[in-house]
Structure formats: structure tokens, C-alpha cells
Structure 1
Amino acid sequence: MEIRTRTRPLRGRTVVVTGAARGLGAALSRALDERGARVALLGLERPQLEEVAASLRHEARCWETDVTDDAAMAATAQQVRAQLGPASAVVANAGVAEGGPFADSDPAVWRRVIEVNLIGSAATARSFLPDLFATQGYYLQITSLAAMGTSPLMSAYCASKSGAESFAHALRAEVAHQGVAVGIAYLNWIDTDMVRDADRHAVLRELRAHMPPPARRVRPADQVAERLATAVERRSAAVYVPAWLRAVQLARPFLPPLVTHIARTELPRLERSEPFGPTGLLGAGGQAAVGRPGGDHDR
């Protein structure tokens, strides 16, 4: 039976969430649990994963695993299947970010962002697609406004989220005839460790301050998680949080030249007041990924 045909479609179903140790991933795990799902929490930080799992009311398990490690992810998928049952939904939420001028970026850190956000999403999908084929399930790819627009000093994050969006579109076309639905979540600023850490850097904080008032607002992770859990229930093709992001799709061709126009004036001004350099991986989740081939984050 497809998950969309039930009155409470997630009750008793296994849902996988990557990057579940903190932030949005942890909040989404709680929201899915409230809807009766059995949640498989994947991430790098075992103590935090266990704490989240222990807070859930329904059966839940956690796995410390690197989303960029294909063999580890395949083994984790087998264990999830054996302990919780085949996945009916998978949310590719794991992600990291770093800021700073591309010319000064550490190649290894820049590459890490691409590996986790893009390659990690592909490894997640590849590992759990057999389950989704069996359950005619749902895959939700977490992206952001960065997939639709662009931002100076966030080149790796923008590239990875744009790539993840394109990957999800391609995957949707490949698996639709097999009953698997693929959704894309477009999110803006969320109150997570990653965003709070970014705000410690004056130039990143100022760049956000130059966005229109609705676009600079930071939303609670629990509020965003509720919207995402509803999207999983409905097998939504797209979910926008906040809802006005849907209108940004129409403006996509105009965003890069607009951002370039603003950056041409603002970046020199900001650099005069406080020189900026590479931030490294942002937030506690990013720090958990330092020195490892991949990692999880709250988005």
C-alpha cells in the first residue's frame, strides 16, 4: 500500500532522516515521530543522535554513519531494513556550509561541502532506493534559496544546493514510473547552529541584512520541520518554507545579475570595515565533520 493512501500515512512506516543529530534534522525527526513514524536517525554525532532517539515516543534507532561513504551507507540501509523495516520515506537533510572568498578557500573544505551536500545526497538515495521501490515510497531532497539564486562568499554551498536540486529533478524523472515520488524542499534561514555561527562573521551577517525584510527573517527549526513532515505525508513535489519562496522561482533569471550589482558595491565597503577570510565549516555539525571524509549538519 502506498503511504499516501492511509488516513495517517506515516503511522508505522519507517522514515529515514540524515543529519538528524541536531537542528532541522532533529526537529524533523520529532515531527515525524508525532505523526507515528518509526524514525531512523543517521548522522555523525552518536551522543546527540541517541539523545534525539530517546526523546521520541515511537520506535526509533540511530546510526552513526558518513553520508559520503557508499559502503557505509549501503550497510546502514541493510541494518535499517532489518531493524525497522523497509523505508517508506527518506529525507536527505545532511549538509554543511562554509563562507569566505573562493580565491582564499581551502580546497579540502570547499570540496567537503560538495561531498556532503551533493554526493552525500546521491549516496543516500542510492542506498535506500531498493526500499523505496518496494514501498513505492518518497524521497525528499533538502535544498535552499541558494539553489534558486546565488550568494557571494558561499560558492560551495550554492553550487552544492543547485546540484542537489538538479539531481532530485533527474531522479524524479527516472523513478516516477516505478511509483516512487521525489520532492524538493526550498528553505530559507533557519535557527540552527550553522546559521548562528554564520552570524558571528560580520560580512555574512551584513550580507543577510541587505536582503529584503522577509528574506532575512530566521525561522524556528520546529516550525520548518512541521512543514516538511506534512510534505512527507503528502508526497509533495515541492515545498517552500517560507511559502513566498515559490514566487522566487519566477525571478530566478534575474537573481544572479541583481546579486552581482549589489555585491559590486557592498563587498568593497564591508571589506574596508572588516577584512574577511574563510570561515571553515560552520556550526557544531560542521565541526563534527572536520578531519573526516564527510559529515552531517542540521542543514
Structure 2
Amino acid sequence: MKGSWNLEGRVAVVTGAARGLGAGLARQLSDRGMSVALLGREASALESVAETLRTPAHVVEVDVTDDPAMGFAAENVRRHLGAPSVVIANAGVAEGGPFETSDPQTWRRVVEVNLVGSAVTARSFLSGLRATRGYFLQIASTAAFGAAPMMSAYCASKAGAEAFARSLRAEVAHVGVGVGVAYLHWTDTDMIRDVEHHAVLRELRGHMPAPARRVYPVAQVSARIARGVERRSAAVYAPPWLRLAQLGRPVFPMAVDLLSRRELPRLMAEHGFEQTGLLGTGGRVEEASLGRRAAADTRDRRQEG
């Protein structure tokens, strides 16, 4: 995967492209001459991003966890833009709070979007990537190798997404498809801005070493990831120092355990941590969808009864 890859004239697919990092990635890839398909739950927000791009763009409103809908989305993209050379599984949601009192539906949705949605994305677009000998990039997080208390769904989903991408890489390398994992830290999206509104996440961030508390601009992070796409990198680190953090993976669990044993009893007594719900504007869109789904299920059960 060494060397530079010319992206000019190729097609990219970005999930979760309505705002934040997904929108930033769409702009970076468009600036490199790629036509971009923007996938997500909010057509109007996706259209707004598409209007800012310099190259042809195509919007598909879709739930990345819906296998049939994503299959149709892949065909839709192929008809309008052509077979993709780059697919970025960026769609993601997060929530925080004690696992014991977590809402099962919300907890499950985090795993569905972050892990299952990434797998559905890869399955839907893999034939196109085979045709172009393309590149699939899984957006992960430091949560993939540094599991934190009060973030069980997010950490589990990102660790699973990392493992999925590594497995896929070994499976498709012989057909010329590259697979990479992007490791991010605190990035200035609306999801991260919600951190300051919730004691559980404020404390989580506050107990990190000072350098690890820094929040990075979307433009900086997306530019770093786009350079990784150009290189078809197996691992992309944004910021770059996260590469060094990988070396600490064997000791992170012990360090987290020791700190949690010392600090959590006091913090829980002071704050009485509550569930955050799904974070950010995208999270609220997902929660509204969950509410509609629950209401439909209740209506169906009443009709069956």
C-alpha cells in the first residue's frame, strides 16, 4: 500500500456525510478531483454539503444498517457516478453512561450503526471496489484500543469495527482491494461538543493526560485521512501521535482499571451519572428514528392482538 494513488476522476462513497467529519472528508476528496456519493439519514443536510463540492456529487438518503436499502444505494451510486474506488465507512453514533442502567435499544443502536453498519457498507460496495481495485477505509477511534468506563457500547463497537476491517483486509488483498483503519481522537464535531453537556463525558475527558484532551479541527483531521486514502494506508492516525499510543495497548486496560477503581466511586457519588442518550445532531436524528420504530412496533403488536 506504499506510494501515492491518483484520485482524480475516481468515485468516492462517504457514509455519515451530512455534517462533521463525513462532510469534511467529502470536501477533501472532491478537492482531489473525486466525484463523491454522500450517504446518510438526512437528505437536506446531505444536499447542502453536496452544493459545497467542486466535483459531481450524488446524495442517497439511507440507513447504513439496512441491508436491502444499502444494496439499492450501491446500485444507485453506480448508475449516477460509476463504480467506487474509495468507500469510507464513517457513519457513527455514541452515547455514555453506566452500562447497568443503559437503555437496551440505545446501546444496541450504537453497535448496529458503528459495527454492523460498517459491515453492511463494505458488503454493499465490495463488488464495485473489486472492479476498480479500490480502497475501503474504516473510521475507528482510540476507543478501539483504549476502552473506557461509561462508554461500553461505543468502545465495543469501535473495537469490533477495527477487527472487522483487519479481517476484511486479509480476505480481499489478493483481489487488489486495499482496506485501512483510521484512528481518531477528539475531533471538533457536534457529537464531541455535546461532551461538555454531560458530566460522565466531561469527567472521562478531564481525567486524560493533558495532550490527550486536545480537540482537533475537522479540516485538519479530514486532510490527514485524505492523505491516508491517497496512500491506500493500512492505518491512518489523526493526529499522527496516535501511532505512538498504539504501543501502549498492552498496558491501557490495567491503567484504566487502576484509575477507575480509585476515581469512579467518588465521581459517581458527586455526579450520579445519568445516561447521555445518543450524542450530537446525528444522534438525535437516530433517536427520533428509534422512537418512530418503537411506536410502529407497539402499533403492530396491538393490531396482532
TM-score band (shorter)? over 0.9
Identity of matched residues, %: 62
AA partner of residue 24 (structure 2): A
Instruction: Give the match for residue 279 of structure 2.
Output: 282
Instruction: Give the match for residue 234 of structure 1.
Output: 231
* Partners of 1:68 and 1:293 within 8 A in 2: no
Structure 1 residues 81 and 196, CA, compared in 2 at 3 Å: closer, same or farther? same
Structure 1 residues 111 and 88, CA, compared in 2 at 3 Å: closer, same or farther? same
Please give the alpha-carbon distance, in whole angstroms, between the structure 2 residues aligned to 1:163 and 1:72: 23
Residue 271 of structure 1 is aligned with which of 268, 273, 277?
Answer: 268
Deviations 1:34-65 (A, max 9, x none): 11110100000111100000111110011110
Please give the alpha-carbon distance, in whole angstroms, between the structure 1 residues aligned to 2:236 and 2:4: 21
Which 5+ residue runs of structure 2 have no aligned equivalent?
292-305
* 1:148 to 2:145 alignment: yes
Instruction: Give the match for residue 301 of structure 2.
Output: none
Residue 73 of structure 1 is aligned with which of 70, 73, 76?
Answer: 70
Please give the alpha-carbon distance, in whole angstroms, between the structure 2 residues aligned to 1:34 and 1:53: 13
Offset, 1:270: 1.6
Offset, 1:290: 1.3
* Partners of 1:8 and 1:35 within 8 A in 2: no
* 1:119 to 2:116 alignment: yes
> Normalising by structure 2, what TM-score?
0.93
Instruction: Give the match for residue 47 of structure 2.
Output: 50
1:290 partner SS: helix
Please give the alpha-carbon distance, in whole angstroms, between the structure 1 residues aligned to 2:249 and 2:13: 31
* Partners of 1:136 and 1:178 within 8 A in 2: yes
> Normalising by structure 1, what TM-score?
0.94
Instruction: Give the match for residue 191 of structure 2.
Output: 194
Aligned ranges 1:71-220 → 2 under 5 Å: 71-220=68-217
2:65 partner SS: coil
Instruction: Give the match for residue 297 of structure 1.
Output: none
AA partner of residue 37 (structure 2): A
AA partner of residue 185 (structure 1): A
Structure 1 residues 8 and 144, CA, compared in 2 at 3 Å: closer, same or farther? closer
Offset, 1:148: 0.8
Alignment root-mean-square deviation, CA: 1.6
* Partners of 1:80 and 1:86 within 8 A in 2: yes
Offset, 1:253: 1.3
Instruction: Give the match for residue 31 of structure 1.
Output: 28
Query: How many residue pairs are counted as aligned between the two chains?
Result: 291
Residue 218 of structure 2 is aligned with which of 207, 210, 221?
Answer: 221
Structure 1 residues 144 and 5, CA, compared in 2 at 3 Å: closer, same or farther? closer
Please give the alpha-carbon distance, in whole angstroms, between the structure 2 residues aligned to 1:46 and 1:242: 30
Please give the alpha-carbon distance, in whole angstroms, between the structure 1 residues aligned to 2:108 and 2:26: 28
Deviations 1:174-222 (A, max 9, x none): 0000000000001000001111112211221122111111111000011
Please give the alpha-carbon distance, in whole angstroms, between the structure 2 residues aligned to 1:17 and 1:7: 20
Query: Which structure's CA Rg is the greater one?
Result: 2
2:149 partner SS: coil
Instruction: Give the match for residue 302 of structure 2.
Output: none
Please give the alpha-carbon distance, in whole angstroms, between the structure 2 residues aligned to 1:6 and 1:60: 27
Offset, 1:249: 1.6
Which 5+ residue runs of structure 1 have no aligned equivalent?
295-299
Structure 1 residues 5 and 277, CA, compared in 2 at 3 Å: closer, same or farther? closer
Please give the alpha-carbon distance, in whole angstroms, between the structure 2 residues aligned to 1:167 and 1:56: 31
Deviations 1:90-142 (A, max 9, x none): 00000000000000000000000000000000000000000000000000000
Instruction: Give the match for residue 253 of structure 1.
Output: 250
Please give the alpha-carbon distance, in whole angstroms, between the structure 1 residues aligned to 2:41 and 2:182: 23
Structure 1 residues 235 and 130, CA, compared in 2 at 3 Å: closer, same or farther? same
Structure 1 residues 290 and 111, CA, compared in 2 at 3 Å: closer, same or farther? same
* 1:10 to 2:40 alignment: no
1:289 partner SS: helix
Please give the alpha-carbon distance, in whole angstroms, between the structure 2 residues aligned to 1:293 and 1:39: 29
